Amino acid sequence: MNKQTNEQSLKDTRERILDAAEQLFMKYGYDGTSMRVVTNEAGVNLAAANYHFGSKESLMQAVLRRRLEVINQERLRLLDEAEANAGGKPLKPSVIIDCYFGTLLRIAADQKAGGETFLRLLGRTFTEPSDFIRAFMSTEYADVLERYKQALFRSLPDVPKAEIVWRFHFMLGATSYAIAGTDALHLVTDWQFDEGSAEQDKNLLPRLMSFLIGGLRAPLPQFENEAEPTAGKSANKDAAA
C-alpha cells in the first residue's frame, strides 16, 4: 500500500468515529450513546475510540469542536466585514442577527455531510444535562458571544443592556428549537409539508429571521414594580424604531 493509503486509513478512523458519534449523539444524546455503538457504526474497533480521543467526554468535545470552529470563525469574519463596511457607524440589528444565526443555518445547509446532523446536535447541546458539555460550550463561545453582544449594545443604544442579553437568549432558544427538532415540530402540527423536507430547510432561515428580529425589536416590557413615567414610552419607541 502506498503512503496515501496509510495516511488516509489513519484519518479515516478518526473521522469515521467523529461522523458516527455526531449522528448518534444527535439521535440519542450523550448519555444515551455508548462507545460500543459508535465504534460499531464507524466500523472500527472499540479500543480505537479511546486510543484516538482518550475518553468519551473528549470524543464529544472533538465532535463539537470540529464544526464549531468553522462556524464561529465565519461569524467573526462576517462581523468584521460588516463593521468595516459600516465605517464606524453602528450596525443594523438585522445585520447582526443575520451574521450570527444566518451563518449557522447557511453552513449547515452547505455542508453536504453532517451539516444538518450537527445543527440538530447543536440544538440539543445547549440543554444537555452533562456539566462538562455546557462548560465546553461556554468557553468555546465566549469570545464570539462577547463580540456580538457589544455589537448589539452599539446597535441599540437606547435599549437596556439587560434587555438585549435576555432577548439574545430568547433568540438562541427559538433557533435551537427550530433546528433541533423537526420532531418537536410534530408536537405542534400533524400536517405534512407538500414540498417535502427540502422546502422546510430552504424557508426556515427567512421565517426564523423575521421572528427573531420581530422579537428583538418588540416594545420593551413594563414591569409591575417599577415607577412608570412617560420616559418609559419613549424607551419603547426607541426599541421599536
Partner DNA sequence: CTAGAATTAAAACGAACGTTTGAATTATAT
Partner DNA sequence: ATATAATTCAAACGTTCGTTTTAATTCTAG
Under the criterion CB under 7 A, does residue 44 sit at the interface with DNA? yes
Among 78, 82, 213, 235, binds its own copies (CB under 8 A): 213
Under the criterion CB under 8 A, does residue 214 sit at the interface with its own copies? yes
Among 98, 124, 136, 147, binds its own copies (CB under 8 A): 124
DSSP 30: T
- Closest approach, Cβ 14 to its own copies, in A, equals 25
Q: What mask, x for binding DNA by CB under 7 A, covers residues 56 to 95?
A: xx--------------------------------------
> Would you list the DSSP string of 162-231?
HHHHHHHHHHHHHHHHHHH-HHHHTTT--PPPTT-HHHHHHHHHHHHHHHHHHHHTSPPP--TTS---TH
Phi, psi of 130 (to 5 degrees): -70, 130
**Residues within window 35-94 making contact with its own copies, judged by CB under 8 A:** none
**Closer to DNA at the Cβ: 46 or 184?**
46
* CB contact at 8 A, 201 and 120: no
**Binding site partner of 153, from its own copies, DNA, none, Cβ cut-off 5-8 A by kind:** none
Amino acid at the residue 62:
A
- The cell numbers describing 76, all together, are 467573526
Phi, psi of 54 (to 5 degrees): 90, -45
**Closer to DNA at the Cβ: 7 or 228?**
7
**Closer to its own copies at the Cβ: 187 or 231?**
187
**Closer to DNA at the Cβ: 37 or 235?**
37
Residue at grid coordinates 466500523: 43
* CB contact at 8 A, 57 and 132: yes
Q: How far apart are alpha carbons 177 and 109 in whole angstroms?
A: 17
User: What's the distance, CA 46 to chain centroid?
Assistant: 30
**Closer to its own copies at the Cβ: 35 or 212?**
212
- Closest approach, Cβ 146 to its own copies, in A, equals 9
Amino acid at the residue 94:
S
Interface with its own copies by CB under 8 A: which residues?
27-29, 31-32, 123-124, 126-130, 134, 137-138, 141, 145, 149, 162-163, 165-178, 180-181, 183-189, 191, 193, 202-203, 206-225
Interface with DNA by CB under 7 A: which residues?
1, 3, 5-7, 9-10, 13, 33-37, 44-52, 55-57
